[in-house]
Each structure stands twice: as C-alpha cells, then as structure tokens.
Amino acid sequence: MNYHVIGGKKLSGSVRTNTSKNAAVVLLAASLLNRGTTTLKRMPKIEEVNRLIEVMKSIGVKIEWTDKEMTIMPPKEFDLKNVDKVAAQKTRSIALFIAPLAHVMDSFDLPAPAGCDLGKRSLGAHIDALERLGIYISGDEKKNSYHTEVKDKQLAEIIMYEASDTGTENVLMAAAKIPGKTVIKFASANYMVQDLCFFLEKCGVKIEGIGTSTLVVHGVKDIGLDVVDAPSEDPIESMFFISLAATTDSELTIERCSIDFLELELLTLEHMGLKYKVGKKYLAENGRTTLCDIKINKSELHAPPEKIAPRPYPGINIDNLPYFVSIATQAKGETLIHDWVYEIRSSYYLEMAKLGADVKKLDQHRVLVKGPTPLHGTNIKAPPAFRPASILLIGMLAAEGESTLYDVYPINRGYENLHERLKSLGANIEAID
C-alpha cells in the first residue's frame, strides 16, 4: 500500500486513540501461559497482531476474532514443527513467545525475530535474565533461529542490565509460573509492561511494585482460568496525533490518551510554546489505566531550551522521540534530538530533508533541526521503521503540494485504518496500490 497526500491543509475535529500495539502483542504472548480460555477485547486490527496470530495458529492455538473481542484457546500440546516462519520473521515480537513456551517445552527453536530495521537490537537483556531462571537461549545462524533449552527452573533475584520493555516482559512471564517469589530490579515500568502485570494478576499471579522499577512476582504452579482483559490505549499513537496537530498548526482533540505516559512529552512541548488543555480523567476498559482527552490549540512554536532525549519511563518514551523531529521543523530556533538508543534511527530523520526540512546529522545518534521551515511535497519510500515512517507522513500532511509515501507496511504494523481516520480530520489522503 502507498499513501497519496495533498498537504498544507489545516485539520480539525476529534480522533480516538486506539488500543496499543505493544500491549496487544504481549497479551497475545501471555495468553500462551493460560491453559484456560483468554478473551481479549478491543484488539487493534494491525499487521503486527496479524503476524502473531498466524504464528499462534500454526503451532496449534485456536483463535476466534470478532469485531468486539478475540478468544484464544490453547492446544493440549504446542507443535513448533509447522511454525509459520515467514510471519515470525516479520516481527521482533516473536521473541515474547520464548518464556511462555519454556513452561511447556524443554527444548525448542523459534525463527529469529525481525521487524523494524533500527540497527543492532540485542536480546542480551532477555538472555541474561532468563538464564538466571533456568531458561537458556542461544542463536543458530544456519537456521536463522533462536534455540531455547530449559533446565531446572528456579527462583532468583534478577538485575536487568538494561531496562528493556520486552526483556522485562519475558522475565515476568517466566516468573509467573515458577512458584514462589522472583524479584526483578531495574525493570521497565512502561505502559505495555504494566498491561502485562494487570493480565497476570487476573491469572492469579500476585505482583508487587507495578509502575516502578522493582517488581516482585509471586509465581504459581499453573494457570488455567477463563480470563477477560483488554489492552490499554496507545500513548505513542496519541503522540502521533499531537505531533500532527503541532506540525500542521491545527486544532485537534485526541481522545482516550494514556496521560501517565505523556506528561513529560507534554511538558516539553509546553516549553516549546505548545498550547493544550487536558480534560477530565477516566479509566480504560482494563479498569487500571488512566485516560483523558487532550485538545491541542494553534501555537507559535520555538525550540526547547535543552536537547530532547528519551529515557526509560517515566522519561520521554523512546518511541515518542521521533515525533519531536516533525514538530521541530516548525519551531523557531535549533532543536537538538539525541536518539541514543538506536544506532541508525537518526539516519531516517534525514529523510525529512526531502520535504524541505533543515535536518543535519551531527553524529550517529544526534540530529539538529532548524526551523521554522516551509515544507513541500515530494515522493519518498517509507523507511523500514515504524515511527520514522510515520513522521514522514506527518511532514507530507504539513507540506504544500502533492506527495506519495510508498510501501507503508511499517506504518500498518502499528496503526489501524490510519488514512481513513486522517480523512475524518480533513486530510486529503488516499491509500493506493
């Protein structure tokens, strides 16, 4: 699919934040822990979820998905001989299957995870932590797979040398079915990790410290319950629309925002001159995550007083950092973006220059954006990375003239029916073959 855009229009109206890709994929993985039936409501209809469903079905999981809910029923035994390798290799989320499968298989291979091309993204945090619990992972370059051996599973006090979201999730799922107390220190406290904790608690696993960097998991011998849950709303999608409003100088209301995971981003934008209003707070369908509606007003933007860089929660979210690039193109002054996490993601930000942005790469991790700069339409192939691809779309919507963003699969991995939602805000955008 490609997106054809006629940009330069002011947008208006309200848009609802969808449920989170990252929460949805870990709940799919966690459903493999449950020998009962798992029902997940409001699952996002996105390519990342589709790929994991293909993998799950190929190993014997029965899945029924209606408009309102997804029902997941595990097989008596998982069969990895016919695993859908093509689907598995299209998503790094396949790595989240390691811990659940380690509870039912002593030895197995999974296709090596792929997904966004963001340079070297090691599973070291997973490997180090799971080894302490008796789960050993090694790579097989010939088979392009990860090999897992399960020995005597044991309780442990684990120190995560990296506050990895997926690493923490894998350790949580491993600890969930090891009876007794496992302590995880320097854990990620990000939104998808919290969603997993909420699900595990519904499965009978007690977890202390949710929302902090120290988690105490009281594991159980087995899980066999009928569980109903729902992923929370995606703060990264909310940030996409916040960035869209700021970059196009439009007034938009973004509904159902996970405010606890956007507060520092909003404060940073406030320092850049962005005017906004946070509405009354209410709970997500999971009964735990706090939501609100955020109205973005027209604003005169300027560069922030300091560089913008991500940190583990409660810092600026790593996935939200790219959205400051598009905003900075319309902010007066010089904005320094420090993307220290990935080796090559900053290179994708330079694609904004094709739209007329003044973006200069200082080194492997830092770019300097000068603004405000008028943007003009052009044709660009979407980079193989979800967030960098989506900021190019924002740039095209702000740019005068016609643009085409080719091969938008990276965007469809995480955003459901995005072009139709943009059209409802007044955007001139069409999906074309």
What letter represents residue 18's amino acid? N
Q: How far apart are CA 95 and CA 166, in angstroms?
A: 8
3-state class (DSSP) for residue 77: coil
Which residue in this structure is represented by tokens 């604003």? 299
What letter represents residue 11's amino acid? L
Q: How far apart are CA 267 and CA 273, in angstroms?
A: 10
pLDDT tens for the 433 residues of the chain, in order? 999 999 999 999 999 999 999 999 999 999 999 999 999 999 999 999 999 999 999 999 999 999 889 999 999 999 999 999 999 998 889 999 999 999 999 999 999 865 444 444 568 889 999 999 999 998 776 677 889 999 999 999 999 989 999 999 999 999 999 999 999 999 999 999 999 999 999 999 999 999 999 999 999 999 999 999 999 999 999 999 999 999 999 999 999 999 999 999 999 999 999 999 999 999 999 999 999 999 999 999 999 999 999 999 999 999 999 999 999 999 999 999 999 988 889 999 999 999 999 999 999 999 999 999 999 999 999 999 999 999 999 999 999 999 999 999 999 999 999 999 999 999 999 999 9
In the numeric block, which tokens belong to residue 8? 């330069």
* CB neighbours of residue 187 within 10 Å: 27
Burial group, residue 201, by CB count within 10 angstroms (0-12, 13-18, 19+): middle
Separation of CA 81 from chain center: 29
Q: How far apart are CA 258 and CA 235, in angstroms?
A: 5
Classify 21-229 by CATH class: alpha beta
Q: Let me know if the fold of 2-18+233-432 is the same as that of 21-229.
A: yes
* Residue ranges per structural domain of the chain: 2-18+233-432, 21-229
* CATH fold of 2-18+233-432: UDP-n-acetylglucosamine1-carboxyvinyl-transferase; Chain (3.65.10)
* CB neighbours of residue 193 within 10 Å: 27
Q: Kindly state the DSSP code that residue 20 receives in the 8-state scheme.
A: P
How many residues are present in the chain?
A: 433
